Amino acid sequence: MDPAWRVLIYSSVAAATAAFGALPLASGRTQPLRLFGWANALASGLMLGVAYSLMAVSLDRGLAQTGLGALAGIACITLARAVAGTAGVIRLGAIHAVPEGIAIGVAMAAGLPFGALMTTALAVHNIPEATVAIATMTRRGTSLTLATLLAVAANVNQVVFALAAFLLVSAVPVLLPWTLGFAFGALLYLVMVELLPDSYRDAGRTSIALVTIVAMGIVVLLHDGGR
Partner 1 sequence: MNPTLLVFLYALTTALATGLGALPFLFVKTMSPRAIAYANALAAGLMMGASFGLVSEGTGAGAAQTVTGGLLGVLGILAVRRWLRGRPVEFGGVRGAGARPMVLLIIVMTAHSFSEGVAVGVSFGGGAALALAITIAIAVHNIPEGLAISAVMRSRGQSVLACAGWSICSSLPQPLMAVPAFLLVEAVRPVLPFGLGFAAGAMAFMVLDELLPDAYEQGPKPLVAILVSVAIIGMAVFQHAL
Measuring CA to CA, how many Å separate 85 from each of 78, 82, 88, 185?
Answer: 11, 5, 8, 21
Contact pattern for partner 1 over residues 27 through 56, marking x by CB under 8 A: -------------------------x--xx
Residue 220 CB contacts under 8 Å (≥ 6 apart), including other chains? 49, 52, 53
Compute the chain's Rg from CA coordinates.
17
Q: What angle do CA 86, 191, 113 make, to 5 degrees?
A: 130
179 binds partner 1 (CB under 8 A): no
Minimal distance, residue 17 CB to partner 1, in Å: 25
Minimal distance, residue 72 CB to partner 1, in Å: 11
Residues in the chain: 227
Contact pattern for partner 1 over residues 193 through 222, marking x by CB under 8 A: x--xx--x----xx-xxx-xxx-xx--xx-
Contact 179/165 with Cβ under 8 angstroms? Answer: yes
Q: Which of 70, 117, 169, 183 binds partner 1 (CB under 8 A)?
A: 70
Q: Which of 11, 17, 66, 148 binds partner 1 (CB under 8 A)?
A: 66
d(C-alpha 51, C-alpha 41), whole Å: 15
Find the part of the chain contacting partner 1 (CB under 8 A) among 31-39, 73-81, 116-124, 144-152: 73-81
Give 25-30 contacts, CB < 8 A, sequence gap 24+: 25/131, 25/134, 25/135, 25/138, 25/144, 26/144, 28/144
> CB count, 10 Å around CB of 207?
14
72 binds partner 1 (CB under 8 A): no
Minimal distance, residue 11 CB to partner 1, in Å: 25
Binding stretches for partner 1 (CB under 8 A): 52, 55-56, 59, 63-64, 66-67, 70-71, 74, 78, 81, 184-185, 188-189, 192-193, 196-197, 200, 205-206, 208-210, 212-214, 216-217, 220-221, 224-225, 227
